[in-house]
């Protein structure tokens, strides 16, 4: 799809009644696949938001490139298929991503959420889920992002540069690392006595709000991409 053409997202949703029958929720449930390499606190925030009905959707599989990722353990505890896909078993990144696409399709995933996933996706993967991949970054993009900007490095760079406001960003994933259309940003004030660790902790709390919110908007069909901009449409009555 041409990224300059407004795209209604998503049209692949499965209609179903919400358990509580609450009228204000749109009666659709999306199927979410999460890719994670680490502790999975964002994954947990997404799972919890699905369970309590905030997101009209469910996490249907969690895939990791690390056998010991705690994210996989979190998935198992929730009874969600937890899949370790070993990168050393594939000859190229393309082959690895090809298998990822297959698994996500086998689980009929509507939306792919990257939550601390440490591998850069190939164009093949991005094409297969065009406008249906989200990522979260612990800074206000386009600052402090791109290759090599992850984990505490981001917060150290923020403090070294001396900015007074940082935050987190949820964005759609395109071929350019961290530079896809921005869905939501939440600011966090930098404090005089902040360390990379303290800042990371406060930003993470905001991440746990921002990610479920972005997914909810997607699930409700309220995100419209126009070039670089993501318009948030009013709720459907
Ligand atoms: C988060 O800070 C996220 O912004 C970044 O990686 C970290 C993952 O943390 N992409 P967790 O695994 O979700 O706890």
- Residue 211: CATH number of its domain: 3.40.50.170
Does 14 fall in a domain? Answer: no
| Ligand 1 atom showing the smallest separation from residue 117 Cα | 10
Does 150 fall in a domain? Answer: yes
Q: What is the distance between the alpha carbons of residues 42 and 138, in angstroms, rounded to a whole number?
A: 11
What's residue 8's pLDDT? 54
- 21-66 pLDDT, tens per residue? 444 444 579 999 999 999 999 999 999 999 999 999 999 999 999 9
| Ligand 1 atom showing the smallest separation from residue 204 Cα | 2
| 138 Cβ below 6 A of ligand 1 | yes
Does 103 fall in a domain? Answer: yes
Does 159 fall in a domain? Answer: yes
| 33 Cβ below 6 A of ligand 1 | no
Does 166 fall in a domain? Answer: yes
- Number of domains, the chain: 1
Alpha-carbon dihedral 41, 117, 155, 149, rounded to 10 degrees: 180
Question: Range of 143's domain?
Answer: 28-232
| 139 Cβ below 6 A of ligand 1 | no
Active site residues: 137
Q: Are 58 and 77 in contact (CB under 8 A)?
A: no
pLDDT along the chain (237 residues), means of 10: 52 40 58 98 98 98 98 98 98 98 98 97 97 98 94 98 98 94 98 98 98 98 96 89
194: its two tokens = 């902040």
Does 21 fall in a domain? Answer: no
Given ligand 1 and candidates 59, 72, 113, 116, which is best to mutate, with the most ligand atoms within 8 Å of its CB?
116
Does 16 fall in a domain? Answer: no
Does 98 fall in a domain? Answer: yes
What's residue 236's pLDDT? 79
Q: How far is CA 125 from CA 5, 102, 119, 132, in A?
A: 21, 10, 12, 11
């Amino acid at each position: 799809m041409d990224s300059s053409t407004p795209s209604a997202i998503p049209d692949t949703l499965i209609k179903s009644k919400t358990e509580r029958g609450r009228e204000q929720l749109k009666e659709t449930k999306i199927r979410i696949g999460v890719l994670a390499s680490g502790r999975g606190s964002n994954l947990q925030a997404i799972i919890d938001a699905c369970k309590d009905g905030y997101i009209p959707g469910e996490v249907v599989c969690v895939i990791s490139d690390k056998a010991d990722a705690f994210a996989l353990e979190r998935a198992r505890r929730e009874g969600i298929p937890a899949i370790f896909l070993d990168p050393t078993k594939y000859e190229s990144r393309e082959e690895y991503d090809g298998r990822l696409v297959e698994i996500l399709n086998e689980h009929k995933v509507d939306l792919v959420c990257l939550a601390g996933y440490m591998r850069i996706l190939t164009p093949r993967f991005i094409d297969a889920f065009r406008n249906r991949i989200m990522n979260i970054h612990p800074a206000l993009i386009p600052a402090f992002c791109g290759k090599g900007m992850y984990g505490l490095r981001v917060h150290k760079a923020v403090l070294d540069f001396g900015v007074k406001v940082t935050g987190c960003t949820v964005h759609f994933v395109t071929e350019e690392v961290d530079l896809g259309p921005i869905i939501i940003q939440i600011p966090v004030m930098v404090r005089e006595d902040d360390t990379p660790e303290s800042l990371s902790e406060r930003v993470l709390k905001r991440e746990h709000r921002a990610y479920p919110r972005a997914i909810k908007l997607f699930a409700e069909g309220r995100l419209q991409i126009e070039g670089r901009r993501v318009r948030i449409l009013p709720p459907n009555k």
